[in-house]
Structure 1
Amino acid sequence: MSTATVTRKPRGADKVRPDLRTRSQRRRNAALGLLAWAVALMFFLPVAWMVLTSFHAEADAATNPPSLTAPLTLDSYREFFGAGGGASPWPPLLNSVGASLISTALVLLLAIPAAYALAIRPVEKWRDVLFFFLSTKMLPVVAGLLPIYLFARNAGMLDNIWLLILLYTSMNLPIAVWMTHSFLAEVPVSLIEAAQLDGAKLWTILLRVIAPIAGPGIAATALICFIFSWNEMLFARVLTGVTAQTAPAFLTMFITSQGLFLAQLCAASFIISLPVLAAGFAAQDKLVQGLSLGAVK
């Protein structure tokens, strides 16, 4: 009769490997955290340098290498707001606000019903429809600049803010349909069917059933469309002059034949970027929640 040999593990041996795994996980998390901070600083330092340069005089901003200890002044901001007799920035800023807000509202007004038809009440070959929307973004913007310019000139719409609103709406509509489609696809169909049984119409379902559930996703879509419209400069630079000039096109006025007014350009860039930064900061929770909607099943 054979006897089995029983080997006992040293006391505490079961804790060795979990401790090693925990230490390794901590080191990995620390390394990833340092990498994230390094990447964040890479993106933040140019912005911080732009803000610091905006508070320098033109002579100090143009030095090479630039001086960190140069005296600070608000002259560039005074020049930006027209204290020195220059052009007023308020008409371009108001044009950008109007074009961005109106085009974003039009995009949502068109994209939400389209996404509803493609996600909740899918039409035939809805995947082909989505691909068609996406294919419109494959054409480089500069490739369509000349035909659009000729159309605007013949139609008498050059230097017209409504032309920019129409262009921004058409540019942002495909990405808005794609984003809202992914958000509306997460809405339970049973809720919509229950609302229909109660006699709710389409707009009632969109406003009272779908909007509260997909609200973060719709807010994220609106914010992205607003940022794209606010930052667009190619069409605004070519198709506008004085009346419909937007804020990004206004920045090019600081690059003249007399030279580059670097401090004023940095001050103008910082002020013009403030609305986008404020909108992103105010809706950051909706943006994160909307972009992550449907990511976890």
Structure 2
Amino acid sequence: MSATAVQARPSSTTSADPTPRRPKGRGLGLVAWLAGIVFFLPIAWMALTSFHSESDAATNPPSFAAPLTLDGYREFFGAGGGASPWPSLINSTVASLASTLLVLILALPAAYALSIRPVKKWTDVLFFFLSTKMLPVVAGLLPIYLFAKNTGMLDNIWLLVILYTSMNLPIAVWMMQSFLSEVPVAIIEAAQIDGAKLPTILTRVVAPIALPGIAATSLICFIFSWNELLFARVLTGVVAETAPVFLTGFITSQGLFLAKVCAASLVVSLPVLAAGFAAQDKLVQGLSLGAVK
């Protein structure tokens, strides 16, 4: 009896093994899909409306079975005699890419000093960087406008480059400090033993290891710069007008041309969507390294 009982115990424990919780996993997956669809619906609606005529786009409720046309895109690109969007798109590209490049050049050494070779009270330094983002943008608008007016930099694309760099630099240092803290110090010490200087260590040792974090930081800085409207609206006119400012010109006293606005919004959003799609793996990998800890 005792031997039988002893032999029966393993079978009872094996039969009591927990089964995978598939219903719960399927439920979470369904919720994730529903959330993704909810967030995607406005973009899909905007894309569909951009291919409708103005009369069909203005119907309420919207006519999803209306015939498709490219008139909204033709008018956006100046086929109807309107202003060309290319100067504004080029200005946004120059301001976003140049400011993002400057942010990376300045943020990488700063993050290196705060993570791998930390300075005294480095947590206070990080808090100071982050506290600069707490100032309302409107509070600094008038001083910056007066400075730009007195220095003759109004309607200058390079003024936006400087502003976007200063605006994105604190958050970039904060993010990259978290990324670079994951870099093994032993690799850097080995490079120093081999005679590598600081620029070589940053470009050939630290940067390749922290590439996902650098890509995530670059994408976020690019999006912030591309979408910025307030400073571009106040500090630019005709020469340095950016794409978001160009979009505001579609709201006129004659009314809101919905199909044309949707076409313009979709075109202006494409660079950001393309950059996010191209770097989505690096973005997820970079954010998972600890940028949102």
TM-score range, shorter chain: over 0.9
For the aligned residue pairs, the C-alpha RMSD in angstroms reads 2.0
Query: Structure 1: which amino acid aligns with 2:277?
Result: F
Match of 1:171 among 167, 171, 182: 167
Counterpart CA distance in 2 for 1:12 and 1:119 is 53
Instruction: Compute the displacement of 1:193 (Å).
Output: 1.2
Provide the residue aligned with 1:125 in structure 2. 121
Instruction: Compute the displacement of 1:18 (Å).
Output: 3.8
After TM superposition, the score normalised by the length of structure 1 is 0.92
Instruction: Compute the displacement of 1:198 (Å).
Output: 1.4
Match of 1:270 among 248, 266, 286: 266
Provide the residue aligned with 1:66 in structure 2. 62
Counterpart CA distance in 2 for 1:294 and 1:263 is 42
Provide the residue aligned with 1:215 in structure 2. 211
Provide the residue aligned with 1:283 in structure 2. 279
Query: Structure 1: which amino acid aligns with 2:265?
Result: S
- 1:9-45 per-residue CA deviation (whole Å, 9 max, x = no partner) reads 79976566546x43xx111111101110110011000
Instruction: Compute the displacement of 1:248 (Å).
Output: 0.8
- Match of 2:249, SS state, is helix
Match of 1:30 among 26, 33, 46: 26
Provide the residue aligned with 1:85 in structure 2. 81
Matched, 1:190 2:186: yes
Counterpart CA distance in 1 for 2:285 and 2:80 is 45
Provide the residue aligned with 1:104 in structure 2. 100
Instruction: Compute the displacement of 1:8 (Å).
Output: 9.4
- 1:222-241 per-residue CA deviation (whole Å, 9 max, x = no partner) reads 11111110111111111111
Counterpart CA distance in 2 for 1:179 and 1:162 is 25
Change (3 A) 1:196 1:56: same
Counterpart CA distance in 1 for 2:172 and 2:9 is 62
Matched, 1:250 2:222: no
Change (3 A) 1:37 1:63: same
* Stretches of 4+ aligned residues off by more than 4 angstroms: 6-17
Counterpart CA distance in 2 for 1:10 and 1:104 is 65
Query: Structure 2: which amino acid aligns with 1:85?
Result: G
Instruction: Compute the displacement of 1:293 (Å).
Output: 2.0
Instruction: Compute the displacement of 1:65 (Å).
Output: 1.3
Match of 2:152 among 153, 156, 163: 156
Q: Which runs of 5+ in 2 are unaligned?
A: none
Counterpart CA distance in 2 for 1:64 and 1:110 is 51
Provide the residue aligned with 2:256 in structure 1. 260
- Match of 1:69, SS state, is coil
Counterpart CA distance in 2 for 1:116 and 1:10 is 58
Query: Structure 1: which amino acid aligns with 2:233?
Result: R
Counterpart CA distance in 1 for 2:162 and 2:111 is 20
Provide the residue aligned with 1:206 in structure 2. 202
Query: Structure 2: which amino acid aligns with 1:174?
Result: P
Query: Structure 2: which amino acid aligns with 1:86?
Result: G
- Match of 2:59, SS state, is coil
Matched, 1:226 2:227: no
Instruction: Compute the displacement of 1:47 (Å).
Output: 0.2
Change (3 A) 1:14 1:207: same
Aligned residues: 289
Query: Structure 2: which amino acid aligns with 1:185?
Result: S
Change (3 A) 1:209 1:150: same
Identity of aligned residues (%): 75
Counterpart CA distance in 2 for 1:116 and 1:8 is 61
